[in-house]
Amino acid sequence: MFWDSALESIMLICFAAAWPASIYKSWTSRTRKGKSLFFLAIVFVGYVAGITRVMLRNDGSFLIFPYTFNALLVSCDLMIYYRNYRIDEEKPPLVPQGTKDFAKDYFRNHRWRNRM
């Protein structure tokens, strides 16, 4: 039982090493071309199934961390896919530029002064 959990965790670590490259490519390309929403959804459901399996079985409970980390990486890639969808379709951003400017100015002018 130890070896199958150890090998499964090595597989999940290798997958976790590949997701940041995919996220970086999605972020910098600013397009959804070459990405499959269906594929990302299937992978996300697979990680959720893995988390569920770990929770239902008592052995290999340390596997919940790599499954959860990979699911978070896939959800990040899904959010970037949605952002790129809006860019491809030339839709306005979800957060208006005025709100972004207000937040920047607020935090620039209200640094953590006199907090001690």
| Cα 104 from Cα 99, distance rounded (Å) | 9
Phi and psi (nearest 5°) for 93?
Answer: -65, 155
Residue 113: predicted pLDDT: 54
| Cα 111 from Cα 108, distance rounded (Å) | 6
What pTM value is reported for the model?
Answer: 0.76
19-72 per-position pLDDT tens digit: 999 999 999 999 999 899 999 999 999 999 999 988 888 776 788 899 999 999
CB atoms within 10 A of CB 76: 16
Distances (CA, A) of 103 to 46, 79, 106: 37, 21, 5
